Structure 1
Amino acid sequence: MNNVELAQSFVLHSRPFKESSLILELFTLDHGRCNVLARGVRGSKNSHKRALLQPFQPLAISWVGRSELKTLKGFEATERSYSLVGVPSLSGLYMNELMLKLLIQWDPHPDIFQCYQSALFRLSGNENPSVVLREFELQLIDELGYGIDWLHDIHGDTIDSELDYGFLPEQGFVILPQAPKNALKAQGKHIEAIANHDWEQSGSLALARKIGRTIIDPLVGYKELNSRKLLQQTLAIR
């Protein structure tokens, strides 16, 4: 992968490199997550270029190089940037941090790319950020091989909206009282609502968030995600 032309990309994060350069952490449609060195873009003469190398801006990026760190050759905006402010912006940064933590380099996930771009579009349209994030988390978990069967318990029996269950990571739902005491408790009606993406059902979003965290937290080594902490603090103030 020495020479790549116009890869559909988003900048997930960037950090300074030496006096005038940036290392861009990208998420691309065809190549997955990768790092690219953008030489000289921090100089005052290139401020207009640097303005495009921001999160939530759809880009076509070209690079060269034999090493793991590629060198930026050129880039252009393919669409207008998704305008995210406040909670939607923090929600987008949370998705970025999740992908930086959970996706390995050079492992394409085109479905996640499409889901991510769709989530940015929905956030820019003032859709409920909690709904957007829960659906993104669940698809990300599924793509990484930790998908949840929302329709059946671990014995293959159909989830009953009238019953209560316990959730066991990497296993699924167990009817109470058979589940261990430390299992995450879940009402059948909320499990059904999540399966149907029925977020109007009171309690479904909260359950999806709790289950998502029980799966994601071990995958990130139980380390605190800065964007999630800031998002939670912002929501608590509102």
Structure 2
Amino acid sequence: MTTDAAPGPGGLESVWVLHSRPYRNSSVILELFGARQGRIGAVARGGRRNTLLQPFRPLLASFSGRGELLTLIHCEAEAPALPLKGRALFCGFYLNEILVRLLHRFDPHPELLEPYRATLSLLTDADMPQDVLLRRFELTLLEALGYGFSLDHDAEGEPLNAGHGYRLDTTLGLIPDPKGFPGDALLAIAAGDWHDTARRVARDLLRQALAPLLGDRPLVSRELFR
């Protein structure tokens, strides 16, 4: 898909840097996540010298050009950078990587912007388990992309039975299977009851759900957790 760059209100669009890589002598190619245009590819001329062009800092930006790769013509800080460190930083890199891998350029998903910002902000909250924050965002992302599934009803629309097992069919949803995920854990996830078993099941379930979308190439950010 191609696009004509157009300014948002006031000529600027709220964006976050998802990824950057060097380009030519002093420029960078950015992957950005914006309120209006979704994932944006842009060249920032002289961008290696611009300390604003870092992940986890909300920016206001404008662009010129058309096609798959726009040109960043202006950016300014919208708010201070989020202070992600240690494991919280790795979680942030994971969120950025799956957005780059799963979002198509210039396919807007404004409903994801606030969950993304909120998840990043909560990663530094000691009272919020980081894995739960990631699982909640993964569920939100799958729903936004059209791959969501019910956690309290099976693929036939029948309520889940806490005493039964279920496997995930990524095209249909949950299917009864005695060797599958325990129904009581799936119901706990649906109810927001993130006990230890529910967290383990959610990790494995969401990894299965995302695998066909991510493909065979490993996620670089997962290696950081090792």
Change (3 A) 1:174 1:69: closer
Cα distance in 1 between the residues matched to 2:69 and 2:155: 44
- Find 2:184's aligned residue among 176, 179, 189: 189
Which moves more between the two structures, 205-214 or 25-34? 205-214
Per-residue deviation, 1:121: 0.9
1:203 partner letter: T
DSSP 3-state at the match of 1:114:
helix
DSSP 3-state at the match of 1:137:
helix
Asked if structure 1 preserves the Cα contact closer than 8 Å seen for 2:181 and 2:201, the reply is yes
- Residue 62 of structure 1 is matched in structure 2 by 62
DSSP 3-state at the match of 2:85:
coil
Bigger CA radius of gyration = 1
Q: Does 1:22 align with 2:28?
A: yes
Per-residue deviation, 1:222: 2.1
Cα distance in 1 between the residues matched to 2:168 and 2:100: 27
* Equivalent residue runs for 1:140-155 within 5 Å: 140-155=141-156
Asked if structure 2 preserves the Cα contact closer than 8 Å seen for 1:24 and 1:35, the reply is yes
- Residue 211 of structure 1 is matched in structure 2 by 205
Deviations 1:5-50 (A, max 9, x none): 21100000011111011111100011100111111233xxxx4xx2
- Residue 95 of structure 2 is matched in structure 1 by 95
DSSP 3-state at the match of 2:133:
helix
Q: Does 1:2 align with 2:8?
A: no
2:36 partner letter: D
Cα distance in 2 between the residues matched to 1:72 and 1:140: 27
- Residue 223 of structure 2 is matched in structure 1 by 229
- Find 1:36's aligned residue among 25, 30, 42: 42
* Equivalent residue runs for 1:122-137 within 5 Å: 122-126=122-126, 127-137=128-138
TM-score normalized by structure 1?
A: 0.87
Cα distance in 1 between the residues matched to 2:110 and 2:38: 8
Cα distance in 1 between the residues matched to 2:75 and 2:26: 17
DSSP 3-state at the match of 2:136:
helix
2:91 partner letter: S
1:88 partner letter: A
Structure 1 unaligned blocks of 5 or more: 234-238
Per-residue deviation, 1:190: 0.4
Cα distance in 1 between the residues matched to 2:24 and 2:138: 35
Which moves more between the two structures, 68-77 or 95-104? 68-77
Asked if structure 1 preserves the Cα contact closer than 8 Å seen for 2:16 and 2:34, the reply is yes
Output the aligned Cα RMSD.
1.4
Deviations 1:175-201 (A, max 9, x none): 334xxx6xxx211110111101111x2
Asked if structure 2 preserves the Cα contact closer than 8 Å seen for 1:217 and 1:223, the reply is no
Which moves more between the two structures, 138-147 or 64-73? 64-73
* Equivalent residue runs for 1:66-77 within 5 Å: 66-77=66-77
Number of equivalent positions? 219
2:193 partner letter: D
1:186 partner letter: F
Asked if structure 1 preserves the Cα contact closer than 8 Å seen for 2:168 and 2:209, the reply is no
